Amino acid sequence: MSRLRIATIWLGGCSGCHMSLLDLDEWLIELAARAELVYSPIADTKHFPPDVDITLIEGAIANDEHLELARTARRHSKIIVSFGDCAVTGNVTALRNPLGPSQNVLQQVYIEHSDPGGVIPYEPGIVPVLLDKVVPVHQVIPVDYYLSGCPPSAPRIRALLESLIEGREVAVDVRFG
Amino acid sequence: MAAKTLTIDGHLVSARPGAMLLETIREAGITIPTLCHLDGLSDVGACRLCLVEIEGQRRLQPACMTTVSEGMVVHTNTPRLRSYRRQIVELLFAERNHVCAVCVASGNCELQRLAALVGMDHVRYEYMSVAYPVDISHPRFGIDHNRCVLCTRCVRACDEIEGVHTWDVSGRGIDSRVITDMNQPWGTSTTCTSCGKCQLACPTGAIFPRGVTVGERPHASERIALIVEARKQRW
């Protein structure tokens, strides 16, 4: 049996979900026997590859780069998992939404609450442009499974991955926060 | 008067005349979600989570506001009810800013538990993301309206148990908000006795003791029923 191709991506989140993934400790060695990590912030690859079986998406959609990567991942993946509360709900990343459109947020953070007065970063092509509203992943691409948690614990990540790899019915428990 | 016999989810159950359907369902060992109901307080039927199907009635009925009757046939867990309940919880999450990861009640919150109970793995509606105020003018307690679900348990605990009625609701529909006295900062209320029963009754992290941080507010709503029970004992 050929190894499954797994990818993980890190959008608007703190990387805590990836830390929790690494918290799987020695089970990662077992996982490596059954699956190959073809794209990830913890793998040395520049471009999202084609023909991915499972992609875990950590983080909410907060800027144009996230939006593009999420769409690419959807095009190239059979299964998309919203991985953790930011991907599922927007969570902490979306706390800026009540402050209004991105210009208001940047104004408050970089000018009003900056001492001494700062400048709003503007480097087209280098610094991604913030979206006006941070949204959960399923608002921009279809998502197949949702793994809540901030972060989801290692045993819950393992349970989901095992059922996906073995093609069993996936029963994900709900646990926000 | 003779006991009433009814059928709940296929089981024959007897209840005393005048009993409410919600307590009868729970006494039969059946789990049914509630949010605005709190043992010890009057019921208002606001949250709609305890809606049940009663054969022969076209409308769904809230179990907390329905009196048992002879021969009643009740269904508490049909696909239609499950779908409505999940929808209700999703709408609650979409309306205000419930962020479990940064909430004082995380791990001890009824809304968080409800999400798990109804299988809400994600919210299908767009989040409203409206900014609500936080009032920490009271020396001992704070209220974060971002986390309020308008169950009015604080209003009823303050009125019915403490006998003060500092809390009430202002506005209509989506503009509704719990207020203290004449819609003034809680700390300036002249009626509040600082008893903390509102905080005990609150199902989420909306009303909290000052100084607690993420996950530190214990859930203690059952103390309201204990207070009511203790007051029944006369020496």
Residue B75 main-chain phi, psi, to 5 deg: -120, 125
Q: Is B126 on the interface with A (CB under 8 A)?
A: yes
Is the pLDDT at B235 greater than 70, yes or no?
A: no
Q: Is B71 on the interface with A (CB under 8 A)?
A: no
Confidence of residue B220 (pLDDT cuts 50, 70, 90): very high
Position A124 scores a pLDDT of 87
Is the pLDDT at B142 greater than 80, yes or no?
A: yes
Give the ipTM of the model, two decimals please. Answer: 0.94
Instruction: Say whether B102 and A90 touch across the interface (CB within 8 A).
Output: no
Is the pLDDT at B129 greater than 90, yes or no?
A: yes
**How many Cβ contacts (< 8 angstroms) between chains A and B?**
65
Amino acid found at A122: Y
CATH code: domain of residue A151: 3.40.50.700
Position A116 scores a pLDDT of 82
Read off the pLDDT of each residue in A5-15 and give the average, rounded to a whole number.
Answer: 98
Please indicate, yes or no, if residue A145 is contained in any of the structural domains: yes
Three-state DSSP at B3 gives coil
Confidence of residue A2 (pLDDT cuts 50, 70, 90): confident
Read off the pLDDT of each residue in A108-116 and give the average, rounded to a whole number.
Answer: 89
Question: What class, spelled out in words, does domain B4-77 have in CATH?
Answer: alpha beta
> How many Cβ atoms are within 10 Å of B159's Cβ, its own excluded?
17
Read off the pLDDT of each residue in B34-41 and give the average, rounded to a whole number.
Answer: 98
Between A94, A135, A176, which is nearest B115 by CB? Answer: A176
**A117-161, pLDDT tens digit by residue?**
789 999 988 999 999 999 999 999 999 999 999 999 999 999 999
Number of domains in chain A: 1
Q: Which residues contact residue B24 at a Cβ distance below 8 angstroms, ignoring those fewer than 6 apart?
A: B6, B8, B13, B15, B68
What percent of chain B has pLDDT above 90? Answer: 97
Q: Is A98 on the interface with B (CB under 8 A)?
A: yes
Confidence of residue A1 (pLDDT cuts 50, 70, 90): low
Which chain A residue lies closest to B119 (C-alpha atoms)? A174
Please indicate, yes or no, if residue A107 is contained in any of the structural domains: no
Is the pLDDT at A24 greater than 90, yes or no?
A: yes
Q: Mind telling me how many Å the CA of A5 is from chain B's nearest CA? A: 25
N-term to C-term CA, chain B: 30
Please indicate, yes or no, if residue A152 is contained in any of the structural domains: yes
For residue A150, which residues of chain B lie inside 8 Å, CB to CB?
A: 100-101
CA distance A121 to A111: 11
**What is the rounded average pLDDT for all residues in chain A?**
96
Please indicate, yes or no, if residue A109 is contained in any of the structural domains: no
Between A89, A95, A133, which is nearest B123 by CB? Answer: A89
Position B10 scores a pLDDT of 97
Read off the pLDDT of each residue in B52-79 and give the average, rounded to a whole number.
Answer: 97
DSSP one-letter code for A60: B
Calculate the alpha carbon distances from A12 to A70, A72, A136, B31, B76 in Å. Answer: 11, 16, 10, 38, 40
Instruction: Say whether B100 and A177 touch across the interface (CB within 8 A).
Output: yes
Tokens linked to B223: 């103390």
Is the pLDDT at A35 greater than 70, yes or no?
A: yes
Q: Mind telling me how many Å the CA of A136 is from chain B's nearest CA? A: 9
The boundaries of the domain holding residue A50 are 4-98+132-165
Pairing of strands A35-39, A145-147: unpaired
Instruction: Say whether A146 and B99 touch across the interface (CB within 8 A).
Output: no
Please indicate, yes or no, if residue A117 is contained in any of the structural domains: no
Q: Is A101 on the interface with B (CB under 8 A)?
A: no
Contact indicator for B204, B111 with CB cutoff of 8 Å: yes
Give the CATH fold of the B102-232 domain: Alpha-Beta Plaits (3.30.70)
Position B227 scores a pLDDT of 95
Read off the pLDDT of each residue in B102-118 and give the average, rounded to a whole number.
Answer: 98
Please indicate, yes or no, if residue A137 is contained in any of the structural domains: yes
DSSP for B119-154, please give it: T--S--SPP------EE--SSSEEEEGGG-----HH
Q: Is B123 on the interface with A (CB under 8 A)?
A: yes
- Packing angle, helices B79-95 and B110-117, rounded to 10: 140
Contact indicator for B31, B96 with CB cutoff of 8 Å: no
**pTM here?**
0.95
Confidence of residue A115 (pLDDT cuts 50, 70, 90): confident
> How many Cβ atoms are within 10 Å of A51's Cβ, its own excluded?
9
Instruction: Say whether B131 and A88 touch across the interface (CB within 8 A).
Output: no
Q: Is B61 on the interface with A (CB under 8 A)?
A: no
Please indicate, yes or no, if residue A70 is contained in any of the structural domains: yes
Instruction: Say whether A174 and B116 touch across the interface (CB within 8 A).
Output: yes
Position A114 scores a pLDDT of 86
Is the pLDDT at A64 greater than 90, yes or no?
A: yes
